[in-house]
Every structure is written in structure tokens, then in C-alpha cells.
Structure 1
Amino acid sequence: MTARSIQPLALLLVGLLYWQLVSQFSGAKEPWDAEGYWRIWYPGSLVISALSGFLLGRRGWLAGVIVTFAQLPVMWVNTGSGGLLMVGATILCILAVPAVAVSMIGGRLARSRTGGGKTDGAV
């Protein structure tokens, strides 16, 4: 495996861990049902997305998608059913838009700091 493929996988693990901890700390089976989701947890995921976007460089926009969609397997495992999984995926598409924006900005900042040469993030 190359660093190029390990970075998104590592970020997926971070996202899964983050959303599982949100569920455990809040007692909610689905992260977006957690108290403080809009005040604490979702903004926290945007910070993770922005920082990860900076580290991923040119592929920074992926960070927002990965961190946001990491909620889906957490919801599936915690609820034990997939009846509304497609509805959840649709909502996550909407929630991913701001996350993609901030992670893309993070990636562009990384490239501008290195004169445009930062393409694949830190190894």
C-alpha cells in the first residue's frame, strides 16, 4: 500500500472512531441524534475535515466526504438495521457539502504554502 492510499484509510478510521465516540458519549445510536450535534459534534467534524484536507493537499476535498460519510457505518452498526440507510445516505450527501468546502480550502492552503507543490499530503 502506498501513502496515497493509506491516508484516506487512516482518515476513515479517524472518522469512524470520532462518530462512534459521539454516539457513546451522547447515548444516541445515530450520531446526528446526539444532543449538541449542531453545536459541538458537526462543527468538530468540520474542523477534522479542514485539518485533514490540509494534510491531504490536492486531494483535500476527499476529507470532507470521508469524515461525513463515516457516520453511515456507525449508524448501521449501532441500529442494527438498514431500513432507512438510503435516506441517511441522502442526508449525509447534504451534510457533506460544507465539509467538502472546508476540506478543499484546507487543501488549497496547503498547496499555497508550498508554492503549489503539495500534491499528496504528508507521508
Structure 2
Amino acid sequence: MVTRELLRELEGRGVRLMVEGDRLVARGPAGAITPDLSEEIKRQKAVLLRELQRAGRPSIHSLPEPLARLVHAAAGDHLNRPGFLPAGIVPNLGAYVLASAALYAVGTDSDRHLLDLWAAHKAWAN
């Protein structure tokens, strides 16, 4: 699997790879990384580290496709309703999504806001 394809596959599963020092760290939903994907990540670790170090900080353009659709729906005012999230009810799901996406894009606690966006995506899908 080519590195770009691997990154797209992981993003589609909600997995985000990050560089912490000289370590490659994966964060995402439980069970999203299969044993085959884990082996592929190990095999391409050096290339992935270089790619991620070059990519720099997260941006709204680096969101996985399902989350990008969520943000576009919020920007189009299609989520102007309460959202039932694991952390509690938000009165306006769209405003919550836009705030989380903005904080993710500027690099403020990006991991947490990415998880917030996945939770909002789940609430949107229900």
C-alpha cells in the first residue's frame, strides 16, 4: 500500500497519525486499526514520520471526508438543532461543530477537538 493510500484509509476509519518526538502515534476509534493496517503502519513508519513532519499542524483541509461533510453542513446552517453528545446536550449542533472545527484548525488541543467532531458526526447521523 502506498503511503498516501494508507493515510487515506486510516483517515476514513477516523484514525489520526501524529508525531510525538521520534514516535509515531495513532489515535482513533477502538478497533479502527486492523492487524493488517498495524503491520502496514510499522512497515512504512519512516516514510510516515517524514510525511507527517512535513505536513505540520492540522488544518480544516486535513479532516477525514465524513468530518469535512459535517463541517460543510454546519456552515450551511443545516445543523441548527440540539445535539445529544456523550458529554451532554448542546443546544446548537452546528455552532458546536463550527467551534470545534475552528479550534482543531488552529491547533488548539487538536486531538480533543477531533474526537469532539467525531462525537458530533455520530449525533448528526442519528
Instruction: Please say whether Structure 1 and Structure 2 have the same fold, judged by a TM-score greater than 0.5.
Output: no
| TM-score normalised by L of structure 1 | 0.29
Q: Which has the higher contact order (CA 8 A, sep 6+)?
A: 1
Which protein is richer in helix relative to its size? Answer: 1
| TM-score normalised by L of structure 2 | 0.29
